[in-house]
Amino acid sequence: MNLYSAGNALLEIEYAGEVGTGSGPTLEFYALVAENLRTLQPQLFRASTPGGMLYPQPYDPHWLRRADEQGSQQILERFRLLGQVVAKCIIDNRLVDIQLHPAFWRSVLGSAPLSQQWLRSVDPELHSSLENIRDMDADKLEGLCIDFTMPGHPSIELKPGGAGYSLNGSNREEYLHRVAEVALVEAVAPQINAFRTAFKELLPLETCRIWSEQELSFIIVGSSVQDDAFWCIDHLAANIKAHHGYTTDSRCFKDLMNFLSELSAENRRNFLMFATGAPTLPIGGFSGLKPPLTVVKKEAPSAPLTADDFMPSVMTCANYLKLPEYSSAEMLKQKLHLAMREGQCAFLLS
């Protein structure tokens, strides 16, 4: 990304040994990068942020800033990569499954400081625990044996020598303030700064101020696969095209619409990865795909082979699904599930 992300030229990815080009391989590249950033160790993001949104995992900021610590430098390098990827996806109008929390964007843009109330949406369990401490009788606090370190992260002190201070009625407000401040700001500041530095090398921060923090969280992610409105028969039939052997009245096309409308969230992602190269839909669902998803008949050779002997195939660069005219809805279901499971991560058609 250091070599190829700079400049305004559209970035497209090809894989060695594969002839496929265009948006499909490129979107799959971004999807694989996103998956690795979410799952690699050391952990980059909190595990408990609601709605699948991403907010940095807190680390001791002094440790993160030490150049001689391999683990800390890995974390910061990956946040730099994340900044490059997100900026390039915005510039190139690509989808990538990285939904950064609005609080993250607020910190990146520096639009306003984060208050304690932001903790409710970033870490509801921690926020609830702090509210319980706020409401607790002062004489019971000392019995909790809580020191001034970050809950769940004893290596992160809330103030110098924090492990030697105990929570009590007189320092309760200080404790509550410091937990929120460290969780939302201080223990994630080096990561956010690394992201910001890489991001603004490609895209000026001022350019992004036309969007709200909530809009920035969705702009490169598109529509959630959890949104059933984009997977109902009416939306599918209105926005998926039938051509070259099929019409919207064709039995096999209708079987496909029924199949898609019944998919689980996980299989929706699998279908989109197979058909488009990205695991999510653009804003607006299937109506946002450019070009629209088009279903055409994949003709079977002469007897004794029939359509049931062949698999569906796709041209991801054109959102083009080549579907044999299967003998039944059950056969279509079997073949598509197999294609969705086995037909990813290879681009063998030019």
- Name the residue type at position 322: K
Task: Out of 47-56, 61-70, 156-165, pick the least confident.
Answer: 61-70
Looking at residue 278, its pLDDT comes to: 87
Question: Where does the pLDDT of residue 165 fall: very low under 50, low under 70, confident under 90, or very high at 90 and above?
Answer: very high
Looking at residue 52, its pLDDT comes to: 85
Q: Among all chains, which residue has been given the structure tokens 């990815």?
A: 13
Question: Where does the pLDDT of residue 103 fall: very low under 50, low under 70, confident under 90, or very high at 90 and above?
Answer: very high
Alpha helices in the chain (DSSP H): 23-39, 61-64, 70-92, 102-109, 118-122, 124-135, 138-141, 172-181, 189-202, 205-208, 213-219, 233-239, 251-261, 265-276, 329-342
Predicted TM-score of the model (pTM): 0.82
Q: Is the pLDDT score of 81 beyond 90?
A: yes
Share of the chain above pLDDT 70, in %: 94
Q: What average pLDDT does the segment 227-242 reach? A: 96
Tokens coding 36: 């690795």
* End-to-end Cα separation, the chain, in angstroms: 25
Q: Is the pLDDT score of 32 beyond 50?
A: yes
Mean pLDDT of the chain: 90
Q: Is the pLDDT score of 1 beyond 90?
A: no
Looking at residue 347, its pLDDT comes to: 45
DSSP 93: T
Cα separation, 99 vs 57, whole angstroms: 15
Q: Of 89, 208, 252, 317, which one is the catalytic site residue?
A: 317
Cβ within 8 Å of residue 254, ≥6 positions away = 248
> Quick check: is 317 catalytic?
yes
* Domains of the chain, CATH where assigned: 1-221 (3.90.1750.10), 228-342 (3.30.2410.10)
Cα separation, 274 vs 270, whole angstroms: 6
Alpha helices in 118-232 (DSSP H): 118-122, 124-135, 138-141, 172-181, 189-202, 205-208, 213-219
